[in-house]
Amino acid sequence: MKARNDNKLENLLKDLQERKKELNCLYKVEELLNNPQKPLEDLLRDVLDIIPTGWQYTELCLVRISYKDQVLETPGFEETPWMITEEIRIQEKKAGDLTVAYSHEVPHSQGQIFLEEEIRLLRTIADRLSHTLLHYELKKTFTKWQGIQEDFSHNKLEKWRAIMETLRRSDKKLFIYISRKMLRNLCLSGSEQANKLLKTFNMDQDERRMAVSDDNRPLIKQKMRRLLELSDQIFHLAAETMDEDQILYNIEKWIQEDKSKFLVKAIDNPNSSLHEIIDAITRYRYIEAEGIKLSSSIRKGLRVSLVRRFFYDQLEFINVAKKYIEVRDYYDIVSHIIFHADSRGSLGGKSAGLFLASRILENLTSKYEVFKDIQVPKTWYIPSDGLINFLYYNDMEEVNEQKYKNIEEIRFEYPNLIQIFKNAQFPARITDGLKTAIEDIGDHPLVVRSSSLLEDRLGAAFSGKYKSLFLANRGSKEERLERLKDAIAEIYASTFSPDPIEYRTEKGFLDFNEEMGIMIQEVVGSRMGPYFLPAFSGVAFSNNEFRWTPRIDRNDGLIRMTLGLGTRVVDRVADDYPVLVAPGKPDLRVNTTMDEILRYAPRRADVINLETNVFETINILDLVRHYGPDIPMGHDLFSKVSDGIIETPASAFFINYEKDDLILTFEGLFKRTAFVQEVRIMLEVLQEVLGTPVDIEFAHDGRHLNLLQCRPQSFAEESTPQEIPHDIPAQDILFSADRHVSNGDVPDIRYIVYVDPEGYRKLSERSDLLNVGKVVGWLNQILPRREFILMGPGRWGSRGDIKLGVSVTYSEINNTAMLCEIAWKKGNFTPELSFGTYFFQDLVEASIRYLPLYPDGNGSVFNREFLLNADNQLSRLCGEFSYLQNVVHVIHVPAAAQGKILRVVLNADQERALGYFAVPR
């Protein structure tokens, strides 16, 4: 047994040794090729010498590089039966090859002389050589071109003729292309003769047109000789009508255009794979570096095609993206895509939104100083068809049918499915890519996020259904790679989890072939003790749908933020509160009294524990006590509570993290830094450019604000403005509202709990008033969750004078779908309804809709008759309080409204809301 283990170990060590050799070899080749100063032959010779060091049997290894008519060999090279060859290709044509041979037979397994890794290594070196050779060729042309320019500088008149002559002899295709361009140019400038020539040039084309209409004859091919003759005439004409500089300028431009044709070809061809496109972009990058530029029309075309290939083909998106994303902006992205050989996928919606937003901000940096500070974390991508490829590679295609099973079955099988995914293999090319990513990122913590195609269509309500996983990314490279693969597999599996499938079924998107892009992103943050976390993070919206005071306008926006990872802000958590601020009115806060500020300060933070490698939730106070000085900008984030005063520490000097009573308020950040302004301008600019209100995610590491996500706000389900129907018969309308309306839809309400303002006002015993709150609390427990609404006078949950509104705590109303506070002049339940009920933030966190009703207002409907006359279920549901039946009315809507339910639609754009009886959906 021990011997076997030793043997295993020995093999493993050998493998590792080999990998090291290969990497070393590749590294040296890279180093050489990156030095473009050397003459070509010297360079190739050096490469020749290095290659054997990467092979298992270096001393037996022979190498040959043949390129055009040059052949370079290691001494004693000869072709043997133990040999591999890779082509060197330049501009899609074979230009030579690279061969490695063993001089003698070597030990091998299963008929394979060369290791898999060696074959790949050879391919990589050949690829790299191809690039370098292309670079040399271009450089040669360029130098030649410069030579010609210099030669003719003293004889300007002849300069362009010489070029055309050279072209005519060396590249007839390009010569004719340029002639044609020139002819068109002349025609456009109105030359009659040019028009005549065009006719001749197009004669065959006319014939073709007729042929198309008459019969199906094939095109007649122009005789090359005739075309050349015509070209001469064209340039003759050109010489007569244009000056030399003009001609030269045009020829130069068209030659350059031709040089970059390959890029257009690769990108516009719908069949080209991601690999071909990325290749073309990389090549273009070299050409561009040489100073060759594209015409603006081609550039525009390319930009559109690139957006379509990498992101989406949605017109609204393209229209904006083409203005802000240059070809060169893809250089960085393409070197960070991990893909399989014939991938044709895109990067998915999350990537698209973020990339575009970051380009917009960068483009506008000169106009808005504040954007200078904004960054986007380093990201690697796996395109959307990676999932399909993964399934195919593992023979798991049948998983695709999972979604058609019944939901119980899916739910039952899902845990097992995750394990199947986690045990599946990644294709070698993906694994290699991930290795590169891991090396690039080092041991910085990572987040693996989904960037699916459906997320774009279904919006925020859906995106939360797929996972984002945080990785501490600690340990050896192998361990880190394994954990990364594990996380990707888990996200892939989440495509088949019951929740999204149920949601897709509901929305009719089940048959959509879901593809899942992956983003591997560095987590923004810094180390604080054993933890890694951002100083703060959050989300921000252009439109504020939860305005806590009427003084805040919808377009004042909203920021929800907390310390640590943004997970606590994105997902609503029941027992903690993020800090809210309206960037347009940062001084108007939700929590104003001392008690509120203390009570609603965030208490917990999500962090990555670097020691245990897990994502966890910790108490902010514990973090402060133990690692306070590690928290960046601590004095801007925390306020000190002492002797009944909440104080913002003037500087870090004034904080004692071990002793002070500190609460997270962000006061210093809001008052002393440009943060709020930065977010406000960012929201405004993005909204203006994208033409839609936006929803962004951000994180700050104490040095820079990082943008993590950007998407249209309308994606958020809760903030979609609803169509207000105009054809509802008067008897079916329960109420309408036209002030302080947010957006949303509260469908299928089956019960109404109505506290009549008049009845409430008449109660004189304090205990009776308190009992109204108790009844509401009891009903909240027994009525179906989110299928009832509460309507009643004044400010609910008021801690002050109970007469001003129903006295309830949050837990007594937490199951309602909506709370309508009724302002009624008669009972002094007016003039100012308070959005700022102290549990307002609880409502926000629980997504309970809030709507103030002003029945005395002009034109507003309030059908009190219905509410008072409908059968009151109060005695049946809580007999104990039946004496309050003139105050509390519980209405079963279907029974009182002929089988209909109550539906409330809210539209903030129109400042209108309507509650009406409708047929259940």
Partner 1 sequence: MGEAYNPYKTAQAQFMKVADLLGLDQSSKDLLGNTQREYHFSIPVRMDDGTVKVFRGFRVQHSDARGPCKGGIRFHPHETIDTVRALAMWMTWKTAVVDIPLGGGKGGVICDPHNLSMREQEGICRGWIRQIANDIGPLRDVPAPDVMTNNQHMLWMMDEYESIHGGRYPGVITGKPVGVGGSLGRTEATGYGLIYTVREAMKELGMDPKNTTASFQGFGNVSQYAISLLTELGSRIVAASYWDQADRKAYTFRKESGLNMEELWPITDKFGSINKDKARDLGYEILDENAWLEQDVDILLPCALENQINADKVKMMSKKVKIIGEGANGPTNLDGDKAIQDRGIYMIPDFLANAGGVTCSYFEQVQCNMNYYWEKDEVLQKLDTKMTSAFHAVHELAKKRKLYMRDAAYVISIERVAHASKLRGWL
Binding-site string for partner 1 from residue 812 to residue 831, where x marks contact by CB under 8 A and - marks none: ---------------xx---
- Cβ 684 to partner 1, closest distance in Å? 18
Among the listed residues 262, 625, 810, 918, the single contact to partner 1 using CB under 8 A = 810
To partner 1, the closest distance from the beta carbon of 714 in angstroms equals 29
Cβ-contact 546, 557 below 8 angstroms: no
- Using DSSP bridges, classify how beta strands 83-90 and 379-382 pair: parallel, antiparallel or unpaired: unpaired
Among 146, 200, 811, 869, binds partner 1 (CB under 8 A): 811
Contacts of 406 (CB under 8 A, 6+ apart): none
CA 70/CA 66 separation, integer angstroms: 6
* Out of 598, 728, 861, 918, the residue judged to bind partner 1 by CB under 8 A: 598
Closest to partner 1 by CB, 209 vs 551, is 551
| Cβ–Cβ < 8 Å for 345, 515 | yes
Is 658 a residue that touches partner 1 (CB under 8 A)?
no
- Regarding 290 and contact with partner 1 (CB under 8 A), the answer is no
677 binds partner 1 (CB under 8 A): no
Q: Is the dihedral of CA 274, 280, 285, 288 positive or negative?
A: negative
Which of 328, 551 has the CB closer to partner 1? 551
Which range binds partner 1 by CB under 8 A, 355-363, 508-516, 582-590, 723-731? Answer: 582-590
| Backbone phi and psi for residue 809, each to the nearest 5 degrees, phi listed first | -105, 170
Minimum distance from residue 621 beta carbon to partner 1 (Å): 9
| E strand residue ranges, 82-190 | 83-90, 93-102
Please give the structure tokens belonging to residue 454.
């459906």
Q: Which is nearer to partner 1, 645 or 730 (CB)?
A: 645
Least Cβ distance, residue 575 to partner 1 (angstroms): 5
Binding mask 416-455 for partner 1 (x = CB under 8 A): ----------------------------------------
Candidates 197-205, 276-284, 343-351, 805-813; binding stretch for partner 1 (CB under 8 A): 805-813
Residues touching partner 1, count (CB under 8 A): 41
Q: How far apart are CA 314 and CA 318, in angstroms?
A: 6
Q: Which is closer to partner 1, CB of 118 or CB of 845?
A: 845
Residues 527-566, mask of contacts with partner 1 (x by CB under 8 A): ---------------------xxxx---------------
For residue 641, state whether it binds partner 1 (rule: CB under 8 A).
Answer: yes
Helix (H, G, I), strand (E, B) or coil at 644: coil
Spacing of C-alpha 57 from chain mean position: 47
Q: Determine the number of helices (DSSP H) and then strands (DSSP E) in the chain.
A: 33, 30
Smallest separation (angstroms) from partner 1 to the CB of 636: 17
Of 151, 801, 871, 909, the residue at the interface with partner 1 (CB under 8 A) is 801
Q: Please, where are the H alpha helices in 851-915?
A: 864-869, 874-877, 893-896
Tell me which of 69, 571, 643, 865 binds partner 1, using CB under 8 A. 643
Other beta carbons less than 10 A from residue 604's beta carbon: 19
Positions in 334-363 near partner 1 (CB under 8 A)? none
Rounded to an integer, what is the distance from CA 9 to the centroid of its chain?
Answer: 44
190 three-class SS: coil
Quote the tokens at residue 313.
Answer: 């083909």
Contact present, 403 and 490 (Cβ < 8 Å): no
Q: How far is the CB of 840 from partner 1 (least distance, A)?
A: 8
Omega prior to 831 cis, within 30 of 0:
yes
List the interface residues with partner 1, window 828-867 (CB under 8 A). 828, 832, 834-836
Asked if 762 is part of the footprint of partner 1 (rule: CB under 8 A), the reply reads: yes
Across-strand partners of 63?
A: 100
Establish if 661 lies at the interface with partner 1 (CB under 8 A): yes
Q: Where are the alpha helices (DSSP H) in 215-273?
A: 224-241, 244-259, 261-268
Out of 809, 847, 869, 910, name the contact with partner 1 by CB under 8 A: 809
The answer to whether 196 and 273 are in contact (CB under 8 A) is: no
DSSP characters for 328-385? GGHHHHHTTB---TT------HHHHHHHHHHHHHHHTTTT-GGGGGEE---EEEE-TT
Identify the helix (H) or strand (E) that includes residue 73: strand 70-73
- Classify 717 as helix, strand or coil: helix
Site for partner 1 (CB under 8 A): which residue of 39, 218, 644, 859? 644
Cβ 899 to partner 1 shortest distance, Å:
37
Q: Does 739 bind partner 1 (CB under 8 A)?
A: no
Which of 610, 591, 894, 849 lies closest to 744, judged by CA?
849
Query: Residue 646, interface with partner 1 (CB under 8 A)?
Result: yes
Bridge partners of 66, per DSSP, are: 71, 97
Member of 116, 506, 587, 865 binding partner 1 (CB under 8 A): 587
Residue from 588, 674, 728, 868 touching partner 1 (CB under 8 A): that is 588
- x-or-dash string of contact with partner 1, 270-289, rule CB under 8 A: --------------------
- Residues forming the site for partner 1 (CB under 8 A): 548-551, 575, 585, 587-590, 592-594, 598-599, 641-646, 661, 761-762, 764, 766-767, 770, 800-801, 803-804, 809-811, 827-828, 832, 834-836
